[in-house]
C-alpha cells in the first residue's frame, strides 16, 4: 500500500472515531393536516389564501377542559404565569411569516398561500403615500430591489407549486407536514391550531431590514414568537381554527397521522 | 525575501493567542474560585422590609465554564407578595458622563473606568426546590418529573419572572441595570433569593451591588436611582467630581435636580 493510500485509510479511520451516537431519542414525524372546508367557508368565504399560520405540536396529552376550548395538557403553573407550559416534545408549522417587500405586509403574509403576486395584492392591497395602489409590476420591482431577486421563481412567498394546501374531494384543505427531530413517545398527542389573525407574529423580531426605505428607518421583517408551542393560549384568539380531536401517537409509527382542524374559537 | 521572513518571525512570537486572560475569573495567572456568599450568615443580613438596601460585594464568574459567583438569601414567606430588587454596580450608561475630550478610558468624573458596570441576574423560589448549597455552590430552581408518557421533563420553578423586550418570561436586565420581580409567598415557608454574577467590572473584578426586599408589589418606577450604594468608593473623588458630588451615582441621580 502506497503512502498516500495509507494516509487516506488513516484519515477515514480518524473520521469514524469522531462519529458518536448520542442516543437522543429524536424522530421525524410525518402526517397530513386536514382543515375543515366548512370553517374556511364560514370565516374566509372559501378563500384558502387567508388561512393563517398553522402550528402543529407534539404534546404530552390533551386537555379540553382547562381553558374551555381544545388545548394540550400543560406542566405545572409557575409563579405569575397564567397557565403552565405545554412542554411540547416537538413540532412544526405550515407556512412561515414572510416579508412581502413592503412595511405594510410585515407580519401579514405567509409562505405557501399565494400562487401569484396578483393574489398577494388581492388579499393585501397596498396603498402608497400618493394614494396609488401597488400593482403586481410595482411589487415585482420592489422585491427585486429589496431582496435582489431576479425572477419570479425566486420569490419565496408566491408560486402555484409552493402552495401548502390542496382542496380534496370532501371540500377540505390538506397539507402534508413533517415535524423534525422531536420526541415521539407512544401516547403523545398531535395538536394544531391556525393563527388566522397573525397574533403569533412579532414585528420587532426577525431578520433586520435588508434595505433602507426613504425614511432610513431600521426595522425588522417580523417573525413568530419563540414560545408559541409552549404557551399557545397567548396566541389563540377568536377566529382561529383548532384541532379538537388530536390523534395519539402509536408505538413504532412515525408517519401516516392525520391531524384534523375542525373547531372555531369564538 | 529572507529579510522579510526574519522580520516577521519575531512578530509571530508577539502574538498572544492564549484566551484565558479574557476570562474574568483568570487573574495573575490562575483561576479564581467562584465566590459564593451565604447572606444568611452575614452579621447584619438583609431582611424583608429593610428600609435601606443591603450593600454587598461579589467576585467574578466563568459563565461558560459553569463556575458562577453569587449570593443567596433565605426569607420566610408572609402569605402575601414580596418584591426583590437588585442593582448591580454602577450606573447604566455612565458613559453619558464622559469627560469633555471624550476619553472613555480615563474620565475625571468617574470613580473608576467608565465601563465599570457589572451584571447580576436575579432568581427566587421555594428554598426546597433550590439545587445549590448556600455558601458553597450556586444552584437554580430546575426540577424534573416523568410525564404520563414516561418522558423525563425539565421544569424551571424560578418564581422571579421578568419579561424580556418581547413580553416573554425569562428575560434579564443588562449590565449596570437593576432587576426586580415580585411573587406570591406562602406564610412561614422559606424562599431562597439567588443573585448570579454574570459579569463584574473590568477595573477591579469585583462587583458591588445593592439589594432590597420589600413587602407587596414592586414600586412602579424602579430605576438606577431606586437603590443607592452600588458603586466603589475612592478617596479624593469629591475633589474631581463637580458641584460637590462625591460619587458618580450621586451625580447621575441628583445632578439634574
Q: How many CB pairs under 8 A join A and B?
A: 52
pLDDT at A49 > cutoff 50: yes
Report how far residue A174's alpha carbon sits from residue A50's, in angstroms, rounded to the nearest whole number.
15
Contact indicator for A238, A257 with CB cutoff of 8 Å: no
Report how far residue B244's alpha carbon sits from residue B257's, in angstroms, rounded to the nearest whole number.
14
Domain that holds residue A226: 35-100+108-113+163-209+220-264
Which CATH number describes the domain made up of B34-141+151-254? Answer: 2.60.120.380
Decide if A157 is inside a domain.
Answer: no
**What is the torsion angle, in degrees rounded to the nearest 10, for the CA atoms of residue A153, residue A157, residue A158 and residue A160?**
100
How do A53-59 and A90-94 pair as beta strands?
Answer: antiparallel
pLDDT value at residue B111: 45
Judge whether B51 is closer than 8 Å to chain A, CB to CB.
no
Predicted confidence (pLDDT) per residue in B121-147, tens digit: 999 999 999 999 999 999 999 999 999
Judge whether B157 is closer than 8 Å to chain A, CB to CB.
yes
- What separation in angstroms does the CA of B235 have from each of B238, B240, B241? 8, 10, 12
Decide if A40 is inside a domain.
Answer: yes
Which candidate from B155, B161, B168 shows the least CB-CB separation from A80?
B161
Report how far residue B161's alpha carbon sits from residue A243's, in angstroms, rounded to the nearest whole number.
31
Q: Which residues contact A70 (CB under 8 A, 6 or more apart)?
A: A62, A64, A191, A242, A243, A244, A245, A246, A263
Contacts of B157 in chain A (CB under 8 A): 76, 78
Q: What is the full DSSP assignment across chain A?
A: --HHHHHHHHHHHHHHHH--------EEEEEEEEE-HHHHHHHHTT-GGG--EEEEEEES-B-SSSSSS--B------TT-SS-----SEEEEES-B---SSGGGTTS-BTTSBSSHHHHHHHS--B-TTSPBPPHHHHHHHHHHHH---SGGG-TTB-GGG-S-EE-TTS-EEEEEEEEEE---TT-EEEEEEETT-TTEETTSSSBPSS--TT----B--EE-TTTTT-GGGT--TT-EE-SSPPBP-TT--S-EEEEE-EE--
Q: How far is A198 from chain B (nearest CA, A)?
A: 15
pLDDT at B150 > cutoff 90: yes
Least confident of A218-227, A239-248, B200-209: B200-209
- Count of structural domains, chain A: 1
Which candidate from B148, B150, B183 shows the least CB-CB separation from A79?
B183
- pLDDT band at residue B12 under the 50/70/90 scheme: low
Judge whether A89 is closer than 8 Å to chain B, CB to CB.
yes
Judge whether A208 is closer than 8 Å to chain B, CB to CB.
no
The residue extents of the domains of chain B are: 34-141+151-254
pLDDT value at residue A118: 98
Cα angle: B247, vertex B250, B251; to 5 degrees: 90
Report how far residue B199's alpha carbon sits from residue B174's, in angstroms, rounded to the nearest whole number.
10
pLDDT at A1 > cutoff 70: no
The separation between CA B158 and the C-alpha centre of its own chain, rounded to angstroms, equals 17
Q: Give the burial class of B225: count Cβ atoms within 10 A of its Cβ; 0-12 exposed, 13-18 middle, 19 or more buried.
A: middle
| Rg of the Cα atoms in chain A | 22
How do A27-35 and A257-261 pair as beta strands?
Answer: parallel
Report how far residue B89's alpha carbon sits from residue B120's, in angstroms, rounded to the nearest whole number.
9
Predicted confidence (pLDDT) per residue in A78-93, tens digit: 999 889 999 999 999 9
Asked if the bond preceding B90 is cis, omega within 30° of 0, the reply is yes
pLDDT at A44 > cutoff 70: yes
Predicted confidence (pLDDT) per residue in B75-108, tens digit: 999 999 999 999 998 765 444 455 556 555 555 5
Q: How far is B191 from chain A (nearest CA, A)?
A: 13
* Three cell numbers written together for B177: 441595570
Which candidate, B58, B118, B61, B56, places its Cα nearest to that of B89?
Answer: B118
Is A75 in contact with B153 (Cβ distance < 8 A)? yes
Q: Is the dihedral of CA B130, B131, B133, B137 positive or negative?
A: negative
- What separation in angstroms does the CA of A259 have from each of A37, A56, A175, A228? 14, 9, 10, 18
pLDDT at A147 > cutoff 50: yes
Decide if A64 is inside a domain.
Answer: yes
Predicted confidence (pLDDT) per residue in B161-172, tens digit: 998 888 888 888
pLDDT at B112 > cutoff 50: no
Global pTM reads: 0.85
Which segments of B39-95 does DSSP mark as H helices, in order? Answer: none
Decide if A66 is inside a domain.
Answer: yes
Total count of residues recorded for chain B? 257
The neighbouring-strand residues paired with B27 are: B30
Judge whether B225 is closer than 8 Å to chain A, CB to CB.
no
Is B151 in contact with A89 (Cβ distance < 8 A)? yes
Judge whether A161 is closer than 8 Å to chain B, CB to CB.
no
When pLDDT is averaged across residues B43-67 and rounded to a whole number, the result is 93
Report how far residue A78's alpha carbon sits from residue B125's, in angstroms, rounded to the nearest whole number.
10
Cα angle: A232, vertex A233, A239; to 5 degrees: 100
Contact indicator for B130, B116 with CB cutoff of 8 Å: no
ipTM at complex level: 0.83
Judge whether B126 is closer than 8 Å to chain A, CB to CB.
no
Which candidate from B149, B160, B169 shows the least CB-CB separation from A81?
B169
Which three-class secondary structure string do you get for B192-207?
EEEEEEEECCCCCCCE
Which candidate, A35, A52, A45, A47, places its Cα nearest to that of A174?
Answer: A35
pLDDT value at residue B146: 95
pLDDT value at residue B26: 87
Contact indicator for A100, A122 with CB cutoff of 8 Å: no
Amino acid at each position: 500500500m502506497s503512502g498516500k493510500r495509507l494516509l487516506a485509510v488513516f484519515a477515514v479511520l480518524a473520521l469514524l472515531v469522531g462519529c458518536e451516537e448520542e442516543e437522543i431519542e429524536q424522530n421525524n414525524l410525518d402526517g397530513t393536516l386536514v382543515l375543515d372546508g366548512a370553517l374556511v367557508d364560514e370565516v374566509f368565504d372559501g378563500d384558502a389564501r387567508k388561512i393563517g399560520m398553522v402550528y402543529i405540536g407534539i404534546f404530552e396529552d390533551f386537555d379540553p377542559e382547562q381553558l374551555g376550548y381544545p388545548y394540550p395538557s400543560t406542566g405545572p403553573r409557575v409563579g405569575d404565569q397564567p397557565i403552565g407550559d405545554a412542554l411540547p416534545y416537538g413540532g412544526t408549522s405550515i407556512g412561515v411569516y414572510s416579508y412581502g417587500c413592503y412595511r405594510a405586509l410585515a407580519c401579514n403574509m405567509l409562505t405557501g398561500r399565494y400562487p401569484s403576486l396578483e393574489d398577494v395584492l388581492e388579499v393585501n392591497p397596498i396603498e402608497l403615500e400618493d394614494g396609488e395602489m401597488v400593482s403586481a409590476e410595482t411589487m415585482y420591482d420592489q422585491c427585486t430591489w429589496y431582496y435582489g431577486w431576479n425572477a419570479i421563481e425566486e420569490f419565496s412567498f408566491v408560486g402555484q407549486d409552493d402552495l401548502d394546501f390542496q382542496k380534496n374531494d370532501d371540500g377540505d384543505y390538506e397539507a402534508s407536514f413533517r415535524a423534525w427531530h422531536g420526541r415521539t413517545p407512544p401516547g403523545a398527542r398531535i395538536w394544531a391550531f391556525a393563527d388566522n389573525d397573525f397574533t403569533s407574529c412579532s414585528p420587532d423580531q426577525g431578520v433586520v431590514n435588508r434595505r433602507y426605505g426613504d425614511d432610513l428607518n431600521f426595522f425588522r421583517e417580523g417573525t413568530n414568537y419563540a414560545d408559541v408551542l409552549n404557551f399557545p393560549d397567548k396566541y389563540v384568539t377568536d377566529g382561529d381554527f383548532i384541532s379538537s380531536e388530536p390523534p395519539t401517537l402509536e408505538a413504532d409509527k412515525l408517519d401516516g397521522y392525520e391531524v384534523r382542524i375542525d373547531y372555531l374559537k369564538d | 525575501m529572507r529579510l522579510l521572513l526574519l522580520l516577521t518571525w519575531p512578530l509571530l512570537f508577539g502574538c498572544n493567542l492564549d484566551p484565558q486572560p479574557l476570562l474574568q475569573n483568570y487573574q495573575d495567572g490562575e483561576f479564581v474560585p467562584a465566590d459564593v456568599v451565604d447572606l444568611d450568615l452575614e452579621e447584619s443580613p438583609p431582611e424583608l422590609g429593610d428600609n435601606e438596601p443591603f450593600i454587598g460585594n461579589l467576585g467574578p464568574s466563568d459563565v461558560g465554564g459553569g463556575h458562577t459567583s453569587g449570593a443567596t438569601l433565605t426569607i420566610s414567606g408572609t402569605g402575601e407578595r414580596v418584591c426583590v430588587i437588585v442593582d448591580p454596580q454602577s450606573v447604566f450608561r455612565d458613559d453619558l458622563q464622559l469627560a469633555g475630550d471624550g476619553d472613555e478610558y480615563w474620565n475625571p468624573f468617574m470613580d473608576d473606568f467608565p465601563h465599570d458596570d457589572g451584571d447580576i441576574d436575579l432568581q427566587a423560589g421555594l428554598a426546597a426546590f433550590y439545587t445549590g448549597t448556600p455558601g458553597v455552590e450556586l444552584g437554580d430552581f430546575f426540577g424534573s418529573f416523568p410525564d404520563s408518557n414516561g418522558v423525563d421533563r425539565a421544569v424551571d420553578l424560578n418564581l422571579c419572572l421578568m419579561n424580556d423586550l418581547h413580553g416573554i418570561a425569562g428575560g434579564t436586565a443588562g449590565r449596570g441595570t437593576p432587576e426586580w420581580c415580585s411573587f406570591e409567598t406562602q406564610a412561614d415557608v422559606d424562599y431562597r433569593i439567588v443573585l448570579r454574577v454574570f459579569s463584574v467590572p473590568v477595573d477591579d473584578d469585583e462587583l458591588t451591588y445593592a439589594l432590597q426586599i420589600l413587602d407587596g408589589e414592586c414600586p412602579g418606577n424602579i430605576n438606577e436611582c431606586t437603590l443607592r450604594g452600588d458603586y466603589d468608593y475612592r478617596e479624593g473623588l469629591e475633589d474631581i467630581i463637580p458641584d460637590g458630588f462625591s460619587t458618580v451615582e450621586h451625580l447621575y441621580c441628583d445632578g439634574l435636580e
